[in-house]
Amino acid sequence: MLTVLVINSKGGSGKTTLSTNLASYYASKKCKTALMDYDSQGSSLQWLKLRPSHIEKIHGANAVPPKGAVIQRSIQAWIPTDTEMLILDAPAGTKGLLLQELVRKANYILIPVAPSPIDIHATADFIKDLYLTGGVRSSTAKVAVVANRVRSDSAAMYASLENFLCALKLPILTSISDSDRYLQAVAKGLGVFEMDEIVTAKERRELLPIMKWLEGHVPNKNGIRTESKVINLEDSRKWKAYRADGFSLNPTGRFNHYN
């Protein structure tokens, strides 16, 4: 089973939108899919209730910890034993023990981020948390960022986040546009891969780099600011420049040049 955690402590960054679209994509490929909603708002589970009965089933689980509870049951207690793809939709504000528990469960961690300065700053803080207290550095989980609700005028806003991600060797897998298709899909309990192929061609194209990454594809070698906004951090001159500038984790685990 592959477990994908969709998380950002910043509210409204697109966690549920990404979770539901991933779940519906894998379900539509006949992969046994489960979606665990850790958010007390229950948005993913509400979306599941809207799913038409003739569409591929997705198992939904309410994973919101009861008030006061710290340790949760193992995942196996929540989902069918033959689950192949498990998506964890995290709530806003995740930190502390819950953050550590989710990181422990994940094979892949996806961080959607919206292009406002406030969102980007909060996301950089969250990534810091993920590394310094969340246990990512000692886990085998792969981490990547997805730019969400991107408009044609958003690119400049990502520059500071991109600098930070370069230092951490985190790829930005793709840019998801601000599109009504995502809203239309949510309203019907669907993902864009279950809607008309021609109408959703752009949305499908922008989501596919995520699936490729989950299926083991390494982000494009030549990548900084390519069409799909994939950054190749290892080879890029930009990355080396940030390294030279000391924009990295120092031996005490703190970030140089980033507060």
Ligand X SMILES: Nc1ncnc2c1ncn2[C@@H]1O[C@H](COP(=O)(O)OP(=O)(O)OP(=O)(O)O)[C@@H](O)[C@H]1O
- Quote the least distance from Cβ 209 to ligand X, whole Å: 15
- Quote the least distance from Cβ 18 to ligand X, whole Å: 7
**Given the complex with Mg ion, which of 15 and 204 has the nearer CB atom?**
15
Cα 110 to Cα 140, 143, 144, 195, distances in angstroms: 14, 6, 5, 23
**Given the complex with ligand X, which of 39 and 101 has the nearer CB atom?**
39
Contact 15, 6 (CB under 8 A): yes
Report which residue type is found at 149: R
Long-range contacts of 215-223 (CB under 8 A, 24+ apart): 219/144, 219/171, 219/173
Binder of residue 148, out of Mg ion, ligand X, none (CB less than 5 to 8 A by kind): ligand X
Can residue 145 be called a binding residue for ligand X (CB under 6 A)? no
Neighbours of 42 (CB within 10 A): 18
Q: Which residues make beta-bridge pairs with 62?
A: 37
**Given the complex with ligand X, which of 35 and 167 has the nearer CB atom?**
35
- Quote the least distance from Cβ 41 to ligand X, whole Å: 6
| Nearest C-alpha neighbor of 36 from the set 74, 84, 89 | 89
Binding ligand X (rule: CB under 6 A), the pick from 3, 4, 14, 98 is 14
What residues numbered 87-126 form the site for ligand X, per CB under 6 A?
91-92
Binder of residue 56, out of ligand X, Mg ion, none (CB less than 5 to 8 A by kind): none
Can residue 64 be called a binding residue for ligand X (CB under 6 A)? no
Angle at which helices 237-244 and 159-168 pack, to 10 degrees? 80
Enumerate the H helices of 51-158 as residue ranges. Answer: 96-105, 117-132
- Quote the least distance from Cβ 177 to ligand X, whole Å: 6
**By CB under 5 A, which span of 38-46, 99-107, 122-130, 184-192 interacts with Mg ion?**
38-46
Give the C-alpha separation, 240 to 9, whole Å: 29
Interface contacts to ligand X, rule CB under 6 A: 11-17, 39, 43, 91-92, 148-149, 176, 178-179, 182-183, 186
Interface contacts to Mg ion, rule CB under 5 A: 15-16, 43
